[in-house]
């Protein structure tokens, strides 16, 4: 699947760069995944207008977050235990952005995108232990460290608004819901493979 995503990204890039450019966008914000610590993300994006209210875009992104936790049931009590850390996610996506009726202050838009992601992280087994007060807990076994590398195919949906300022500069507020799959994930929009991006960006016409 990730080979297919690379082909799609390549074809989009040929369309984008075969014609005059439109704008360059720099984004930054937060990445949020279920059962994981909050992380940061950034991306550099190229937009090309192909019709009134319609743009093609492509971007290179990077995101990082630390812990992924699981919930363990023991004696009818639920315990949380971190089993992964040090997540780094590199992404290359292409998509289509559709603008809608502009207000006096902003112009809303929707996006759909596909792409390739490269994910690295550490994973651990876990063990049960009791402290001096005989309280049970579950903890990562750092001696079982495994470094993981995954090639992923992703799709995403997004929505946002863009506010035009002066000198060809605009500010963008956007939310994306992205999901990735490979053989280790249970299809699109699974709990493990889905994340949200909350971004603020600056868009400059070139």
Nearest to 54 by CA among 12, 9, 100, 20: 100
Identify the bridge partners of residue 40 per DSSP, sorted by sequence position.
30, 64
Q: Is 87 helix (H, G, I), strand (E, B) or coil?
A: strand
Instruction: State mean pLDDT over 56-72.
Output: 97
Non-local CB neighbours of 107 within 8 Å, separated by 6+ positions: 99, 100, 101, 161, 162, 163, 164
Q: How far apart are CA 163 and CA 166, in angstroms?
A: 10
- Position 22 scores a pLDDT of 85
| Structural domain harbouring 17 | 2-205
E strand spans, 131-168: 136-164
What does pTM read for this prediction?
0.86
Is the pLDDT at 133 greater than 80? The verdict is no
Is the pLDDT at 19 greater than 80? The verdict is no
Q: Which of 71-75, 97-101, 188-192 bottoms out in mean pLDDT, i.e. has the lowest?
A: 188-192
Q: What mean pLDDT is reported for the chain?
A: 90
pLDDT tens track for 31-41:
999 999 999 99
CATH of the domain at 191: 2.40.160.20
**What is the tally of structural domains in the chain?**
1
* H or E segment and range at residue 11: helix 2-17
């Amino acid at each position: 699947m990730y080979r297919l995503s690379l082909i799609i990204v390549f074809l989009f890039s040929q369309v984008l760069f075969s014609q005059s450019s439109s704008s360059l966008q720099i984004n930054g914000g937060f990445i949020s995944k279920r059962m994981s610590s909050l992380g940061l993300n950034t991306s550099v994006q190229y937009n090309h207008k192909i019709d009134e209210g319609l743009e093609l875009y492509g971007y290179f992104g990077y995101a990082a977050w630390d812990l992924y936790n699981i919930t363990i049931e023991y004696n009818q009590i639920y315990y949380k235990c971190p089993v992964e850390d040090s997540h780094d996610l590199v992404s290359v996506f292409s998509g289509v952005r559709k603008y809608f009726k502009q207000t006096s202050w902003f112009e809303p838009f929707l996006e759909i995108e596909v792409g390739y992601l490269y994910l690295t992280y550490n994973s651990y087994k876990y063990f049960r232990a009791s402290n001096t007060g005989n309280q049970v807990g579950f903890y990562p076994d750092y001696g079982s460290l495994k470094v993981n590398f995954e090639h992923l195919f992703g799709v995403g949906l997004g929505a946002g608004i863009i506010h035009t300022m002066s000198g060809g500069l605009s500010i963008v507020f956007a939310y994306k819901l992205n999901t990735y799959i490979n053989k280790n994930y249970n299809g699109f929009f699974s709990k493990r493979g889905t994340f949200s991006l909350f971004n603020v960006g600056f868009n400059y016409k070139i």
